[in-house]
Amino acid sequence: MYVTSSGDRHGDRTPIDPYPTDPWRNESLWPVRFGQLTNIGKRQHYALGQWFRKRYSNIITNKYDSKKVYVRSTNVDRTLMSAEVNLAGMYPPMGKEVWNDHLNWQPIPIHTRPEHDDEVLAMKRKCAQYDIAKNNFINSRAYEDHLSKYEGLMDYLTQHTLRKIKDFEDINDIYNILFIENLYNLTLPKWTHSVFPDKLKEPACYSFSIATATPVMARLLAGPLLKAIVNNMLNKMSEQPDALTMSIYSGHDFTIANILSALGLFDGNCPSYTSTIIFELLNEDSTPDYYVRISYRNTTDIVEPFILNIPNCGKMCPIQRFIQVFDNLISVDWESDCQVQYNNNLIIYFFIMIHIFIFILYLQDNYCDVIKQEKRNELLRNRRIATDETETCLCPDLEQNVDVNNVEKPQLLL
């Protein structure tokens, strides 16, 4: 086993923004402020870190090696903190690493970047093409039909929460708040009994597959992270000196769902706290064959994760085949793919318009010339017959044309 990249969701947290009629919306009723990691969440991640250490003790050293292990988090307090405790569980200081006799902990760097500038992990950097694709999807008949099935439910929620619930994401926000309150054994208001959890769960968790609903959306949103993971694997295979043995990514529920959904592996269940996807590169002793294995654990309990059956490739997927199957995602060239191409279309459209315009002018000119020529001929003919004076045609002045015609007609009859 060589390289492993794992994406994990942060641990237990408090609700982010309770709805207006929520009986538990008073922040002081909670152990920490809204949206923050709780002590339970810290312990969950600490346990996950300890599990990583045990599972990968054969490929990563007990001593932290900054050249082999890379940790990245989204720039959000709870994911940064989750990564910190995870590493505290994974790397308790050993031997010479002990720097403080009173503290069985050592600092390990966690890299991050602003969310609006992070297309890889936060997946929040602005991408015009993605916005167009998403907009098209949201306005598609199929999506609207699907959403309309929940109109009754959304009206019911709007009425009781006093918050406008208009799509799957909104349903998920409510579901998430109720889920956490239920987890904390807080009594939920009566109106929830008829909808929570069963009726809400399906549409709430469906919200996680919208972001990568079409191949273009999946490519632009989940492509960069999958590309980074595959590149890590290729680096390791070709024994690059800077190849990492393990990369840890600390993200959110939607990070997990987007990756699963893009790979066609999302099972419709919301990712739980500390849910973890693991990408492993495996190779059989002394053979040049490398395989990708994807495991997923969607529970806070530290149990053996499920090995997922990769579409068209199986549980042990040869890496070259993996790259072929998911070429749509891995080949993403984010910066250029995100640029809006209708600029080109506009330019082409503009050119065509100009050409048509010129053509019309030309036709008109020609037409005018033809008329002028005809008129001249007629005039010449007329002069031969009669010697009355006519002005030259100033096409497209109709009056004169009419005049000329009026004058000419009787003469032609002669």
Partner 1 sequence: MEYDKEDHTWRRRSSATLKQTTCQPMPKRSHTVAVIVLGLAVLSCLLGYCVLSETLPYESKTLRLVIVLFRHGARTPISSYKSDPFKNYQWPDGLGSLTNAGKLQLYELGKKYRNYYANFIPEEYYEKDVYVMSSDKSRCLMNAYTFLAGLFPPSDRQTWHPELPWQPIPVHSLPKDLDDIVAQTKPCKVWKSMYEELLEEANSDPKFAELFDYLSKHTNQSPFLNEIKMNLQDSVSHTNLDRSLYIYSGHDVTVVGLWRTLGYSELLEPEYGASLVLELHEEVEQDTFFVKLFYRNNTKVEVPMELNMPFCDDPCTYNRFIQHIETLIPNNWEEECQN
105/137 with CB nearer partner 1:
105
For the CB of residue 299, give the shortest distance to partner 1 in the complex, in Å.
Answer: 20
Site string for partner 1, 115-134 (x = CB under 8 A): --x-----------------
> Binders of partner 1 among 92-111, rule CB under 8 A?
96-100, 102-111
17/369 with CB nearer partner 1:
17
Report the C-alpha gap between 389 and 381 in whole angstroms: 12
Q: Which of 269, 273, 277, 278 shows the shortest CA–CA distance to 300? A: 273
Continuous segment of H or E residues that includes residue 91: none
Report the C-alpha gap between 164 and 199 in whole angstroms: 18
92/314 with CB nearer partner 1:
92
Considering the rule CB under 8 A, would residue 112 count as an interface residue with partner 1?
Answer: yes
Report the C-alpha gap between 274 and 250 in whole angstroms: 9
| Residue of 25, 36, 143, 371 that binds partner 1 (CB under 8 A) | 36
SS3 108: coil
How far is C-alpha 222 from the chain's CA centre? Answer: 6
Q: Which sign, positive or negative, has the C-alpha torsion 302, 303, 308, 314?
A: positive
111 is a catalytic site residue: no
10 is a catalytic site residue: yes
Q: Which of 282, 243, 290 shows the shortest CA–CA distance to 70? A: 243
Site string for partner 1, 52-91 (x = CB under 8 A): --------------xx-------xxx--xxx-xx--x---
For the CB of residue 326, give the shortest distance to partner 1 in the complex, in Å.
Answer: 27
Site string for partner 1, 13-32 (x = CB under 8 A): ------------------x-
Q: Where are the beta strands (DSSP E) in 230-382?
A: 246-251, 276-283, 290-297, 306-307, 317-318
Spot the catalytic one: 8, 10, 12, 45: 10
* Residues near partner 1 (CB under 8 A), total: 38
Considering the rule CB under 8 A, would residue 231 count as an interface residue with partner 1?
Answer: no
How far is C-alpha 133 from the chain's CA centre? Answer: 10
Report the C-alpha gap between 414 and 411 in whole angstroms: 5
Spot the catalytic one: 8, 12, 170, 253: 253
SS3 364: helix
- Residues belonging to the active site: 10, 253
Q: Which residues bind partner 1 (CB under 8 A)?
A: 31, 33, 36-37, 39, 42-43, 46, 66-67, 75-77, 80-82, 84-85, 88, 96-100, 102-114, 117
